């Protein structure tokens, strides 16, 4: 599988499809490219890159503690992968990274899909402090909050296992980065076409935050996925993939 050098470390990624727009999937805190379902990693009509951020999955490094640093990594990834302009699809922390990258390098971002995220990602002390003081308890709390009431128990168990494998310092750094993140005064400057997707049962980034985000970004579209929680793309993979595919077609026609 491909690996590119990013600064002092390496980033692992998968790529699927060789036609249509370049789409870059950016996972959330403590995640990896596997937090994206196959329906999105193999989205028809697009060239889809699913990355592991530094310190995550099969990538090198030790992770970052600021969203700006991860955003810079994504811009470097675009450089190394030969992507002149791409649609950034980010979940939770990944959505924060996508927003930041769109402000840092607007000429490189042709669109944004912001999933289960917000312009401000304040983290509950029970999670941020608990990661270092009581990792098992914090993991249980994150698992409880991350999924909707109708989520498949097998999915929940697998998600918990994947999170438990992440280095504790990397996990803490991710949530610290989220807690420091605040673009509420700047999201109105985003110029890229934007789609915001939120689960109606999301307890970590409730729908009102996704709705507000879409209202602040000029021309953004908001989609509420009924019954889904924070891990909306895994709980409703086909529905989310269909919404993204339809939106990409509309953007392509508009950009003509």
Residue spans of alpha helices (H) in 118-152: 125-128, 130-133, 135-146
Strands 47-51, 9-16: pairing kind? antiparallel
Residue spans of alpha helices (H) in 93-206: 93-104, 125-128, 130-133, 135-146, 153-164, 168-180
Q: Give the span between the Cα atoms of 86 and 13, in whole angstroms.
A: 15
pLDDT digits (tens, 9 = 90+) for 120-179: 999 989 899 999 999 899 999 999 999 999 999 999 999 999 988 899 999 999 999 999
Q: Give the span between the Cα atoms of 65 and 97, in whole angstroms.
A: 12
Q: Which domains does the chain have, with CATH numbers?
A: 3-255 (3.40.50.1820)
Query: Edge-to-edge strands of the sheet including 47-51?
Result: 3-6, 9-16, 47-51, 22-26, 86-91, 109-115, 194-199, 221-225
pLDDT digits (tens, 9 = 90+) for 78-120: 999 999 999 999 999 999 999 999 999 999 999 999 999 999 9
| Mean local confidence (pLDDT), 37-44 | 96
pLDDT digits (tens, 9 = 90+) for 133-146: 998 999 999 999 99
């Amino acid at each position: 599988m491909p690996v590119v050098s990013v600064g002092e470390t390496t980033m692992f990624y998968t790529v699927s499809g060789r036609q249509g727009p370049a789409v870059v999937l950016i996972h959330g805190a403590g995640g990896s490219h596997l937090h994206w379902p196959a329906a999105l990693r193999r989205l028809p009509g697009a060239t889809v890159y699913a990355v592991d951020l530094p310190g995550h999955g099969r990538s090198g490094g030790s992770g970052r503690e600021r969203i700006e640093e991860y955003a810079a990594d994504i811009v470097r990834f675009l450089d190394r992968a030969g992507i002149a302009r791409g649609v950034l699809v980010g979940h939770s922390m990944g959505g924060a990274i996508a927003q930041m990258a769109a402000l840092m390098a607007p000429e490189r971002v042709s669109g944004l899909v912001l999933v289960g995220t917000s312009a401000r990602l304040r983290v509950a002390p029970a999670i941020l402090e608990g990661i270092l003081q009581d990792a098992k308890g914090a993991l249980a709390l994150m698992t409880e909050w991350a999924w909707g009431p109708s989520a498949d128990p097998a999915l929940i168990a697998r998600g918990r296992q994947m999170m438990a494998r992440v280095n504790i310092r990397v996990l803490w750094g991710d949530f610290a980065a989220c807690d420091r993140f605040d673009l509420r005064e700047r999201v109105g400057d985003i110029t890229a076409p934007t789609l915001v997707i939120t689960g109606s049962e999301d307890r970590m980034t409730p729908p009102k935050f996704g709705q507000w985000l879409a209202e602040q970004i000029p021309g953004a579209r908001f989609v509420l996925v009924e019954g889904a929680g924070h891990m909306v793309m895994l709980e409703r993979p086909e529905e989310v993939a269909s919404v993204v595919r339809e939106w990409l077609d509309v953007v392509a026609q508009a950009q003509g």
